[in-house]
Amino acid sequence: MRLVMFMVLFMLVVFSSISTSAIGKSDVKPKAVRIIALAPHIVEMLYAIDLGDNIIATLEHADYPEAAKAIPRVGNYAQLNIEAIVALQADVIIAWKTGNPDADIQRLKQLGQTVIYSHPQRLVDVANEIESFGMRFGNADAANVKADEFRQALQQLQASYQDKAPVTVFYQLWPQPLTTVAGNAWPQQQLDLCGAENPFKNADNDYPQINIEDVLVANPQLIIYPTSRHSNESMSINWQQYKNLDAVKHKQMLRPDADILHRMTLRLPSEITKLCEQIDQSRQVYDALNNGVRVN
């Protein structure tokens, strides 16, 4: 009898110890992963899935959300501060595949730094990367919800505008040299969603340089020239002087926010929605003109 009681008490002690240990482990948060995010869109993605506090450094122009402005800077799009990055001893560096100096990234790898890449090429890749970051850094549930919402928003946009009459659009990406978009360029994908027709879409590369005469020949119904807080207004083109352009004649000029529209983040659907709505307003203007209605 004593032996049985001893065994019962022994097992109670063991189970009690195991239970306490398990609870203790669940209450102790694992060491926070220290991340260097080498692009504004990467910073924004991480904040969107509650990983902003893990970012220990970033580059210039990472300005959203507001808290991101306080993150230390270790370079810009043209050059990384290798010494400062190495000194921070990050657990992982997230680089932008096509937006960071490749020589600097290769140097970081040679110095033993762990580098992974952000490389969104299609609009839906924003959702894919959000999920990837969430899975890698332990916030999969939050990331999956955000990613699903993003995909649904894109699907709704496509359904809303895919059957609309096309509007001929010139998209001025940069004024000097005059650069537009084509092919699989990020803004071109947005124009496609909105049912806009770009006369330069079939150019040889995604960001072709053209001249003003090309625009005059194309005679777009709408001119879109996104502006950024960081852009130099003195370099802009005064399209108003070309009064024979339909877009100028009928006052169809748009200036969306480049800092949102050109950044691969979860804010994109709401900004593309605004763009599509504005393009649709132009569509209605030309529909009215075609029906003999005077438009002021």
DSSP string covering 64-76, please? Answer: -SGGGGGSPB-B-
- DSSP state letters, 278-295: HHHHHHHHHHHHHTT---
Average pLDDT over residues 62-75: 97
Please tell me the predicted confidence (pLDDT) of residue 218: 98
The pTM of this model reads 0.84
User: pLDDT over 70 for what percent of the chain?
Assistant: 86
pLDDT at 23: 26
Structure-block tokens of residue 203: 């150019």
- Positive or negative: CA dihedral 245, 248, 252, 253: positive
**pLDDT tens per residue, range 5-26:** 333 333 333 333 333 222 223 2
Q: Do domains 35-122 and 164-290 have the same CATH topology?
A: yes
Pick the CATH number of 35-122 from 3.40.50.300, 3.30.460.10, 3.30.365.10, 3.40.50.1980: 3.40.50.1980
The pLDDT assigned to 235 comes to 65
pLDDT exceeds 90 at position 30:
no
Q: What is the mean pLDDT of residues 27-41?
A: 78
13: three-class secondary structure by DSSP: helix
Q: Region 211-236: what's the mean pLDDT?
A: 87
- DSSP state, 86? H
Q: Is pLDDT of 230 > 80?
A: no
d(CA 33, CA 47): 14
Which residues, 6+ apart, have CB-to-CB distance to 108 below 8 Å?
80, 82, 85, 86, 93, 115
Provide the residue ranges of all domains of the chain, joining segments of one domain with +. Answer: 35-122, 164-290
Per-residue model confidence as pLDDT tens digits over 77-103:
999 999 999 999 999 999 999 999 999
Tell me, what's the pLDDT at 31? 58
Contact call for residues 101 and 80 (beta carbons, < 8 A) = yes
| Residue among 145, 208, 146 at smallest CA distance from 172 | 208
CA 292 to chain centre: 41
What is the per-residue pLDDT for 292?
A: 76
Q: What is the pLDDT of residue 21?
A: 29
Give the distance between the most distant pair of CA atoms in the chain. 106
Sign of CA dihedral 42, 43, 45, 46: positive
40: pLDDT strictly greater than 50 = yes
Q: What is the dihedral angle through the alpha carbons of 167, 276, 234, 250, rounded to the nearest 10 degrees?
A: 40
When pLDDT is averaged across residues 184-209 and rounded to a whole number, the result is 97
Mean pLDDT score, 155-168: 95
Looking only at the bridges linking them, the beta strands covering 167-171 and 196-197 are parallel
- Secondary structure letter of residue 166 according to DSSP: P
C-alpha span between 67 and 50 (Å, rounded): 12
**pLDDT tens, residue by residue, 252-280:** 999 999 999 999 999 999 999 999 999 99
From the options 3.40.50.1980, 3.90.550.10, 3.40.50.2300, 1.10.3720.10, give the CATH code of 164-290: 3.40.50.1980
pLDDT value for 3: 37
